[in-house]
A and B are shown apart, each in its own frame.
Chain A
Amino acid sequence: MRNPFTLLKRRWSDSRKARTDGGTTSQAGSILDRDLVRSAPFWLPPFLLVGLFIYGAIIWNIVLSLTDFQGLGSPDYSALDVENYVIAFFGGTPSWSELTVSPIWNSAWNTVVLMVSFSVVCLGLGLVLAILVDQEIRFENTFRTIYLLPMSLSFVVTAKFWLYLYNVETGLVNIFLGAVGLGPVEIVQNPDLKLAAVAFALIWQFSGYAMIVYLAGLRAIPTGHFEAARVDGASTIRMYWRIIIPQLRTATVSALVVLTVFSLKAFDFLFSMYGGYQPGPSADILATRMVREAYANGNWAYGSAIAVLLFVMALAIVAPYIYTQYQRGEL
């Protein structure tokens, strides 16, 4: 993934350099001869398409969230205000509805809890798995495949699958809990366990991905570091903790970004587990709330406002990563 802007900048400075070196061609000829112009047929169409459909759509969505667009018809862009955000934070009766609209705190909080717990546990588990698989064990490839396999399943499949596993009477999870004396427990509709159960299933699905990223990171560390640590008499735990793990920072950050994005997609999982976009207050996330507002109620502008808030949350997590990469000149 190379940023088109950087590419552009480099191209410009290249051509400028050439000019100060004393180009002899005429001005008009030099514009047409520039790399930037000559390569335009290759980069311009995707650049415009991405610009229009990704960034254009984001901007349109932000504008839409400032309107009162509700129901059928077309939005009125002449009167923009932040009412939808006020409603999102404080609740109340907006001008476009006769009903009271509740604020988004509950689903925002659930989203954060899900995002953080899922990402952190996934990374931890992925690291442990990667270190284990890295011990030059037998059947290494087989284990790697087994751990990674759940990721190839769609959320719809895993949601139905875990619905079976969590079954109070016949589910494997409850049979196991029964065997260790914790008795069968209601999980799927238990307000205290619901969100944890969703996070657990997602962790099962994606820790294999974290493992692969870490494994690649581990393989990139020269054997000399391991040997030097051994020679200096470091214990295994100390070696990993002080020497190896600090070198996995880049792997951690890039895995974290991808995992965060996956957790925002938990909508599919909740939708198929609870048969719709009403998973109940203790598992309601911003994505389900957004779809309810937009498609069940036709509150398009309010749905857009929730989408913008979700976007800002995702950006808040991804931005520091992009920024550090930029500072290190890796972008």
Chain B
Amino acid sequence: MAGLAGCSGGGGGGDGGNELELLHAWSSGDGNAAIEALIEGFQEEHPDVEFAEEPVNGAARSNLDQVVLNKLQANDPPSTFQTWPGKTLEKFDGAFEDIEGDVWDEDLKENYLAGPQEQAQYDGSYVTVPLNIHRINNLFYNTAVVEAAGVDPESLSSASDVVDACATIDAETDAVPFAHQTSGAWSTGQLWETILLGQAGIDGYEAFINGNGDREQVESALDAVVDLTEYYPGDSSSISFTEANTMVMDGDAAFIHQGDWAAGAYGNEDGFNYGEDWAQVPYPGTGGNYLLNMDSFPYMANNPSPEATQQFLSYCGSAEGQVLFNEKKGSIPPRSDADVSSLNNFQQDQFEEFNAADNQPPSVQHGLAISPDIATNIGNAFSGFLESNDAAETAEALINAFN
């Protein structure tokens, strides 16, 4: 089927019907359940719209981007596809169309908070609709382990407090203090940006993502990461995020810093309950901030199904669609008026914190805050950091990533 589509692609799609071509990388797990729920909800309202839904398999997003770029080069854009909003959109420069008024009406503008609303824009025009929000600055912990060590995570107020707490846990229990993986660089990248946000504050963080970062602040956050390496699992370089997260669930580790997708696994584990067996605090020092990672669906220029795409994006921007999606995905709806009573307790708490947050800064590691080529430079810096643990050298590379 895909082969056939490829052969006739040059023809330009023909009848321009109402078939909506939707590309995404949620081919399995909770992501797949979430997109299915969203599409099902949409089709109940719009039974006339046909879907040519194509999950693009492979290493999450990078492969999907490649497929979309190839289609755009061939002048055969999809109706919409799963993408991070914000600066990531630069990769597809010129491929989007302004949907202010049509999709981004007054209702959406009223109900999206400033942070997500800013990320939906490219060059000042609204081009994409954020569908969900994952928080990056979480510290999850296994309640039994921290209690056994006499540590109260609620009382920690800075990154160095976390290091001290790890030392106590190391001394008092057999558990690994800080579950973390270092075979890939992304976990360390997001840990560093979280610590930077805590130490340098929102101003320092925003200065960095705008290319005016303070070298000392950058290096000091890296030093805090180096301090934590001592408390990683001994085999952190051979494990994946899933294995690190399982250590927390099994009581073999106390803390893990992760986006709130980590909590998705906790919810599926019997006898591991929110508030009793595990809990979460904003990473110490970052209270009042909701560090954003989002997925969104943009409106493509030269759209093969203009009307259907607008209908679908409006549905993605509706509270109903977002709740259906996030119920399964484990993230929270970006709309502050969403009725979250059908989400789980943890999601409800996160939603409350989101609405009360002073700032909703975009994530560096997850492509919202910086353009793709800078993101590659930062990724290079962290893949080097994993080898050397050299804070000074990495700080230099991070500052130079913008030049």
Contacts and interface: CB of A to CB of B under 8 A. Distances in A.
**Do chains A and B interact in one complex?**
yes
Interface of A: 71-74, 97, 99-100, 163-164, 166-171, 184, 186-191, 194, 271, 273-282, 292, 295-299
A295 B69 contact: yes
Contacts of B264: none
Interface stretch (B86-94, B101-109, B166-174, B358-366): B86-94
B221 to A, nearest CB: 20
In the A-B complex, list the 10 residue pairs whose CB atoms are closest, starting with the nearest.
A275-B184, A167-B238, A188-B237, A280-B383, A191-B387, A189-B237, A278-B383, A297-B373, A169-B235, A168-B235
Interface stretch (B58-66, B110-118, B290-298): B58-66
Nearest to A292: B376
B387 A298 contact: no
Instruction: Identify which of B237, B238, B373, B379 gathers the most chain A CB atoms within 10 Å of its CB.
Output: B238
B33 interface: no
B377 interface: yes
Contacts of B72: 72
B62 A190 contact: no
A279 B69 contact: no
B380 A278 contact: yes
Contacts of B128: none
Given A276-B185, A297-B376, 6 more contacts: A72-B69, A72-B93, A188-B237, A275-B184, A275-B186, A296-B379
Contacts of B387: 189-191, 194, 280-282
Interface string B170-206: 0000000000001111100000000000000000000
B386 A280 contact: yes
A73 B73 CA distance: 6
Contacts, number: 106
Interface string B77-93: 00000000000000111
A298 B376 CA distance: 11
Contacts of A171: 235, 238
Interface in B45-74: 59, 62, 65-66, 69, 72-73
Contacts of B377: 99
Contact of B62 (A99, A274, A276): A276
Contacts of A190: 387
Contacts of A166: 237-238
Contacts of B239: 167
B398 to A, nearest CB: 13
B403 interface: yes
A76 to B, nearest CB: 14
A296 B376 contact: yes
B275 interface: no
A204 B388 CA distance: 27
Contacts of A167: 235, 238-239
Contact of A281 (B59, B62, B73, B384): B384
Contact of B182 (A170, A189, A194): A189
Contacts of B373: 97, 99, 296-299
A294 to B, nearest CB: 9
A296 B62 contact: yes
A190 B372 CA distance: 27
Contacts of A296: 62, 372-373, 375-376, 379
Nearest to B238: A167
Contact of B383 (A71, A163, A281): A281
6 contacts: A99-B403, A274-B183, A278-B382, A280-B185, A295-B66, A296-B372
B391 interface: no
Contacts of A297: 372-373, 376
B400 interface: yes
A278 B384 CA distance: 9
Contacts of A194: 387
Nearest to A277: B62
A171 B237 CA distance: 12
Nearest to B70: A295
A278 B185 contact: yes
A20 B387 CA distance: 72
Interface string B202-244: 0000000000000000000000000000000111011110000
B237 A168 contact: yes
